[in-house]
Chains A and B, each alone.
Chain A
C-alpha cells in the first residue's frame, strides 16, 4: 500500500459526552472536553505513553464544556480557552485549572464554536479569541481587556427576542480566523445554521463578502490562518463539502469554489460509498500540508482529501476582472471510525499523521495516518 492509511492507535472510552478534543501544543498530551450526564462540564487531560493512554488530570465545572482552543496562548503558558453551554468563555491554566485566568459571560446561549489566533504567531497581531453562539452573535475577545468583547458582531434585536425567543435568529455554528499574515490583517469566517457564510474583515471592520450555501454550515477552516488567505474549506449538513479559493475575489461573483456533494455520503453495500447523505461535522487541515485535509461525518467515518490546484489559479474574464479558478478534490482514503458521528478531530501540530478524534459514542481515539508525507 503506497497510499496513506488511517489506523486507530489507541481507544479510550469515557463516561460522558465528548464535545471537543485538542492536543496541547508541544506535548504528548491532549484535552477532552465534554458534558457529564448531570450536565456538568468535564475536562480530562490524557498523556500518550507508548501504547497506552494515561489520564493526567480531570477537572469538573458547573456548566458543560462545548469547545476549546489553544490558538491564543503562547508556547510558554499554553492556556486553554473554553466555551461552555451557558455562554461563558473561560481561559484556564491547565496547571491550575481551579481558578480561571479569564472568565466572561459572553453569550446568552451555548457557545457553539471557538477559534483563536495570535498566540504563537510573531508579528501577527494581538492574541484574540472569537466565539460564536446560539444567540447568533460572533464576539472577539482579548483577555487583556475586561468583560467586553473587542469586536461584537451581533444580529440586531428582533421581535420575539427576550423570554419567548423565537427561532428567527440565526445560530452561529462555525467560525474560523484567517488571513492573519501581519499585524493588521485579520478575517473571521462565520457559518450559520441557514447556510449563510460571512467573511468579516477585522481591519476594515465590515463584511468583506457573504454567500449562502444550500445547507447549514457545520465546519469551517482556512487551510492556514497565518498566511494571506489561500483556501477555505466549508462543510455542511447533507454531506456538502466546499473548498473556496480565497486568493482572488471577483467583484460580483466573489470567490470560486469546488463542491463535493457526497462528502458525507455513507457506505452502501460492499464498502462502496453510495448510502444516504449525512452531515459533515468537521474539517481539519493537516498542519504540515495545507492541501490535505480530513472531514469527519455523521456516519462515523473520516475521510482524507487532497486539493489539487488548477494550472492557473486566476483568469481574466471579458471585463478584465480577475476571477479565481478552483481546483479539484480527490478523496485519498476513507475509514469508518465509529457508529456515531465523528464531530471533533485535531491533528497534532508537531507530529505529522498523529491525531485525536472524538465521537458521540463516548469515546476518544488516537489515530495514526501513515505515509502522509508522500502526498
Chain B
C-alpha cells in the first residue's frame, strides 16, 4: 500500500523516539511494538543494543505481544528421553490388544448391529431459494442492507422539487425509519425464538427419561467391554472439558454417563463428579460420590480431600477432621491437608461447649522432646508427672497441640463434680482410656503402658492432683475434656 513510505512515516513515530532514553520512559505498549518493528526492519539502520533494549521493554509492557511469537524447526524424537517415549510404546501395545479384540468382535457378529435411528427422509435444501426466504423473515446483514436504499430511492425527492421538500417532515421520516428497524428486529427475534422454542420442546421430552434410560441400558448391554471403556472414557473427558469451562451441570451429566457405561472402573469419574458437585454446592451428593470413588480406590488422596471438604461444608467438621488426618497418614507432607487441619483445629476447638476446658496430655519420651513441639507450649508431659502446680488454663488450649491422629474427647464431666473429684471412678476412667487406646492406637504398646501408668499415678496420687478447675478457683468450669494425643 504505502510502498514509498518507511515504517517510521507509516507509524507516525518521530525518529527522536528511537533512543535509549525514550525507550526507557515509554509506557505505551502499542508504540513500543511499533518501535520494535521499525528497529527490527533495519530501515533506519542496524542498532542491535537498542533493539534488544526495546524488546526487553516491550516484554515488560506486553509479555504476550505478537512480536515475540517465534517458530522453530521441528525437533526429532531423539530429544525425548527414553522414559518419555516409553508410555507411547506401552500404549501402542495396549491399543493393539484392543484393536485385536475389536476385529474379533467384528468377525463374531457382523449381522447384529446396534439399533440405529431410521434413515432421514430425502430432502433438498435450495441455497438460493433459502436466501430469499431468509431475507424475508430475517434481515441478515446483507439482504437487509439492500432493500433499504431501494425504498429510499423510490421516494427520493429531487433537490429542485421544492414543493415536495416543503411537505417533507424529517421527524416523521426518522420515526418511520425507527419503526421499520424495530419491526425487522422483532421479526428476527421471533425467528430466533422459534429456534429456541423447538429446543425447549426437546428438553420437555426428558420426562420420558426413564424409558430412555432403559433403552440406553439395553444398548450398553450389547457393547463389549472394550467399547464400554471407550465410551466411558469419552464421556469422562467431555465432562472434564465442561468442568474446565465452568459448566458444572453439564460436567455432572457427562460424568454420570461415564459411570453408567463402565461402573467397574469409574473411580475417576466418581471423583470428578464429586468435585463438580462440590462446585455446585451440593455437598451431600459430593460425599456420596467420594465414598463411591473410595470404595473403588480406598487410598485415593484426592477423593479423601474432596470428601473432607464436602463434609466440612456440610457442617460435619469432626468427620472432616478425621479424614484430613487419614490423608496425612497416606501423604504426611500434603500441604493442603495440613493447612485445613490447622484451620479445623481452631474451629473444632470453638465447637466445644463454651464452659468446657480441655486438658492436653502430650506424651514425650523422657529424654528427647519432639521437634514439632513449640517451646512455649505448656503441656502435661509424661516425664513430668502431673505436678500440683499445673499451669492454669493455658494448658488447655487446643491450638497448641499437634495431634497426628484423630483426637478423642473423653468427657469426664460425670466424674468431676464442681471442685470435687470422685476418686473411685478415676481409675476406671483411666482404664477405659487405656482400653480405647488399645483399640485405636497404632503406636507402640509402650506408649499405652506409659499412659496407663500415668493414669494409675493420677489415681493413686489423687491428693497431689489438682484438676485445672481447682486451680482457677474463680472459674465455673465443670467439664473436663481430655484430648487424647498420639
Contacts and interface: CB of A to CB of B under 8 A. Distances in A.
A59 interface: no
B61 interface: no
A148 B125 contact: no
Contact of A336 (B73, B141, B226): B73
Contact of B74 (A8, A144, A208): A8
Contacts of A309: 245
Contacts of B244: 289, 291
A309 B88 CA distance: 31
Interface string A262-289: 1000010101111000000000000111
A274 B141 CA distance: 34
B292 to A, nearest CB: 23
B297 to A, nearest CB: 20
B216 A122 contact: yes
A7 interface: yes
Contacts of A2: none
A12 interface: no
B430 to A, nearest CB: 55
Contacts of B139: 252
A40 interface: no
B51 to A, nearest CB: 11
Q: Interface size for chain B: under 10, 10 to 19, 20 to 34, or 35 or more residues?
A: 35 or more
Interface in A62-116: 74-78, 95
Contacts of A202: 120
A259 interface: no
Interface in B121-148: 121-131, 133-134, 138-142, 144
A335 interface: yes
Given A7-B77, A8-B77, A251-B192, A148 B71 contact: no
Contacts of A8: 74-77
Given A29-B99, A75-B102, A7 B125 contact: no
Given A153-B125, A184-B202, A126 B131 contact: no
A150 B131 contact: no
A212 B417 CA distance: 88
Contacts of A185: 202
B312 interface: no
A21 interface: no
B89 to A, nearest CB: 5
Contacts, number: 216
A55 interface: no
Interface in A137-188: 140, 142, 144-145, 148-156, 182-185
Interface stretch (B109-117, B165-173, B342-350): B109-117
Interface string A104-135: 00000000000000101011011110000000
A363 to B, nearest CB: 12
Q: Which 8 A-B pairs have the closest CB atoms?
A: A251-B188, A334-B71, A27-B99, A335-B74, A150-B120, A153-B125, A9-B77, A126-B117
Nearest to B69: A273
A326 to B, nearest CB: 14
Contacts of B110: 77
Interface stretch (A31-39, A45-53, A213-221, A234-242): A45-53
B71 A207 contact: no
Contacts of B116: 118, 126-127, 144
Contact of A48 (B92, B102, B105, B134): B92
A104 to B, nearest CB: 14
A318 B110 CA distance: 58
A272 B76 contact: no
A208 B138 CA distance: 10
A205 interface: yes
A150 B123 contact: yes
B40 A272 contact: yes
Contact of B80 (A122, A148, A370): A370
Interface stretch (B230-238, B419-427, B451-459): B230-238
Given A75-B102, A202-B120, A334-B71, 15 more contacts: A8-B75, A78-B102, A118-B116, A126-B117, A151-B124, A152-B123, A153-B126, A251-B185, A273-B69, A301-B71, A319-B185, A335-B73, A336-B74, A368-B88, A370-B80
A6 to B, nearest CB: 6
A26 B76 contact: no
Contact of B71 (A145, A208, A273, A291): A273
A26 B99 contact: yes
Nearest to B190: A251
A200 B125 contact: yes
Contacts of A127: 116
Contacts of A267: 71
B92 A7 contact: no
A271 B80 contact: no
Contact of A330 (B64, B75, B79, B202): B64
Contacts of A128: 120
Given A145-B122, A153-B124, A207-B134, A350 B69 contact: no
A369 B189 CA distance: 45
B397 interface: no
B130 A144 contact: no
A28 B92 contact: yes
B106 interface: yes
Interface of B: 40, 64, 66-77, 79-80, 84-85, 88-89, 91-92, 95-96, 98-99, 102-103, 105-106, 110, 113-114, 116-131, 133-134, 138-142, 144, 184-185, 188-189, 191-192, 195, 198, 202, 212, 216, 219, 226-227, 230-231, 233-234, 237-238, 241, 244-245
A290 B139 CA distance: 33
Contacts of A204: 195, 198
A227 B113 contact: no
B107 to A, nearest CB: 9
A145 B238 CA distance: 32
B131 A77 contact: no
Contacts of B241: 224, 289-291
A331 interface: yes
Contacts of B72: 271, 334-336
B76 A151 contact: no
A362 interface: no
A50 B92 contact: yes
A194 interface: no
Nearest to B66: A262
Contacts of A156: 126-129
A246 interface: no
Nearest to A302: B74
Contacts of B80: 7, 368, 370
Nearest to A226: B238
A97 to B, nearest CB: 15
B224 to A, nearest CB: 8
Contact of B113 (A74, A271, A336): A74
A5 interface: yes
A26 B225 CA distance: 13
Contacts of A57: none
A120 B233 CA distance: 13
B125 A351 contact: no
Contacts of B127: 153-156, 198, 207
Given A26-B95, A207-B130, A249-B192, A182 B202 contact: yes
Contacts of B67: 272
A28 B117 CA distance: 30
B330 to A, nearest CB: 24
A243 interface: no
B125 A125 contact: no
A361 interface: no
Contacts of A144: 116, 119
Contact of B238 (A209, A224, A272): A224
